[in-house]
C-alpha cells in the first residue's frame, strides 16, 4: 500500500463497494479558520477535522502544536466515522502539510490503512472531481488509538540523532540558517541537523515528486539503508509532510513532534546558525 494516492485513483475507490472514510483537514497557519471553506464545498462524504483543536493539544510547554491526548484524538476520529478495519483518506487544500499531520497521527496510533490525497482538493477539482456543501452524518467509528513505541522523537532523541544518524530540518532555509524567525523565540537550528525544506519535495503542480526522485534527494542528504532518520520543523506539521515524502521514497523516519517551537522554548538547549549543520 502506498502512502499517497491520486485524484483519479480516489475517484475509483469512492465508486467501489467499500469506499474509504474521507477526512477534510484544510488548515492555514495563523488562520483563518477553514471550516467555512469546508462548508462551502468539500469532497462528497468528507468530514471536517480541525488541526489546531483536534489534531493538536493546547499550545504551551510542548510547543505550538503538541500531540493531542490519545483519548481525545480517538474520540474525534470515531465521531468522524473512522474504523479500525476500513481505509481512510485525508486531504487538505493542496499544500499537504495538514493532511500529512492527520496521516502521521493515524499511522502512529495504529491505523493500518491511511493515505493522503496527493495534491489535495486542488488536484481533486483539477481532475474534475465533484464537491458538495452537503454535510455528511457519519456512522460512529470504532478506532481506538494505540500509540506505537517508535516513530516519535523527544528533544533528547532529536539531539542524539543529529549526532549519530540524520536529522532533517523541514523548515525554509532562511529559518534554518537563523536569518529570520517569524514565529518562535529564537532563530537557527538543532546542532547537527541538515536543512531539507519540505517544499522541495513537491513540484510546481503541488504533487509529490516521483519516488525515485525523492529517494535520490534524501540519499544525497545522507539517508542510507543503515541510517536512522528523523525530522523536525516549526511545530510538527510540515515535518509530518517530510516524513510522508520519506515514506513515498521508501525511507522510514521518525518525527520530533514538538519541533523547533519546543526546542527553542528552553534557553538551555543549544542553537546553531548558518548554512552548515
**pLDDT given for residue 65 in this prediction:** 97
Asked if residue 17 belongs to a domain, the reply is yes
Determine how many CB atoms are found less than 10 A away from the CB of residue 163.
10
| Marked catalytic residue, from 76, 80, 116, 233 | 233
Asked if residue 197 belongs to a domain, the reply is yes
Asked if residue 271 belongs to a domain, the reply is no
Give yes or no for residue 1 having a pLDDT over 80: no
**pLDDT given for residue 186 in this prediction:** 94
- Are residues 167 and 58 located together in one domain of the fold? no
Question: How many structural domains compose the chain?
Answer: 2
- Residue 233 a catalytic site member: yes
Q: What is the pLDDT of residues 20-33, one digit of tens each?
A: 999 999 999 888 89
Q: Give DSSP secondary structure letters for 105-134.
A: HHHHTT-S-EEEETTHHHHHHHTT---B-P
Asked if residue 145 belongs to a domain, the reply is no
Determine how many CB atoms are found less than 10 A away from the CB of residue 76.
20
- Are residues 98 and 192 located together in one domain of the fold? no
Give yes or no for residue 222 having a pLDDT over 80: yes
**pLDDT given for residue 29 in this prediction:** 86
Asked if residue 116 belongs to a domain, the reply is yes
Give yes or no for residue 184 having a pLDDT over 80: yes
Q: Identify the domain containing residue 208 by its residue range.
A: 152-263
- Are residues 158 and 231 located together in one domain of the fold? yes
Q: Write down the pTM of the prediction.
A: 0.97
Asked if residue 230 belongs to a domain, the reply is yes
Asked if residue 165 belongs to a domain, the reply is yes
Alpha-helical regions (H) of 57-208 = 70-79, 97-108, 120-126, 155-164, 173-177
Average pLDDT, the chain: 96
**pLDDT given for residue 126 in this prediction:** 97
Q: What percent of the chain has pLDDT over 90?
A: 94
Give yes or no for residue 67 having a pLDDT over 90: yes
Domain CATH code at residue 181 = 3.40.250.10
Domain boundary among 92, 126, 160: 126
Asked if residue 144 belongs to a domain, the reply is no
- Are residues 173 and 117 located together in one domain of the fold? no
Amino acid at each position: 500500500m502506498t502512502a499517497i494516492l491520486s485524484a483519479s485513483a480516489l475517484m475509483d475507490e469512492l465508486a467501489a463497494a467499500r469506499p474509504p472514510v474521507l477526512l477534510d483537514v484544510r488548515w492555514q497557519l495563523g488562520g483563518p479558520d477553514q471550516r467555512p471553506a469546508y462548508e462551502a464545498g468539500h469532497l462528497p462524504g468528507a468530514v471536517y477535522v480541525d488541526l489546531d483543536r483536534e489534531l493538536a493539544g493546547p499550545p504551551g510547554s510542548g510547543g505550538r502544536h503538541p500531540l493531542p491526548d490519545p483519548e481525545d484524538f480517538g474520540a474525534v476520529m470515531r465521531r468522524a466515522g473512522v474504523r479500525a478495519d476500513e481505509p481512510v483518506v485525508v486531504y487538505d487544500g493542496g499544500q499537504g502539510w495538514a493532511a500529512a499531520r492527520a496521516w502521521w497521527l493515524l499511522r502512529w496510533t495504529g491505523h493500518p490503512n491511511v493515505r493522503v490525497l496527493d495534491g489535495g482538493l486542488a488536484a481533486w477539482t483539477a481532475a474534475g472531481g465533484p464537491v458538495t456543501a452537503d454535510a455528511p452524518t457519519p456512522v460512529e467509528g470504532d478506532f481506538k488509538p494505540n500509540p506505537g513505541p517508535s516513530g516519535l522523537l523527544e528533544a533528547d532523541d532529536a539531539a542524539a540523532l543529529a549526532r549519530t544518524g540524520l536529522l532533517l530540518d523541514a523548515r525554509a532555509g532562511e529559518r534554518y540558517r537563523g536569518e529570520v524567525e517569524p514565529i518562535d523565540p529564537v532563530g537557527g537550528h538543532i546542532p547537527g541537523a541538515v536543512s531539507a525544506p519540505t517544499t522541495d519535495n513537491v513540484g510546481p503542480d503541488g504533487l509529490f515528486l516521483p519516488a525515485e526522485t525523492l529517494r535520490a534527494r534524501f540519499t544525497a542528504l545522507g539517508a542510507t539503508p543503515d541510517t536512522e532518520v528523523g525530522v523536525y520543523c516549526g511545530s510538527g506539521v510540515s515535518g509530518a509532510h517530510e516524513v510522508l515524502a520519506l515514506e513515498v521514497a521508501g525511507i522510514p523516519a521518525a518525527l520530533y513532534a514538538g519541533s523547533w517551537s519546543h526546542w527553542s522554548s528552553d534557553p538551555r538547549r543549544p542553537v546553531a546558525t548558518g548554512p552548515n549543520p
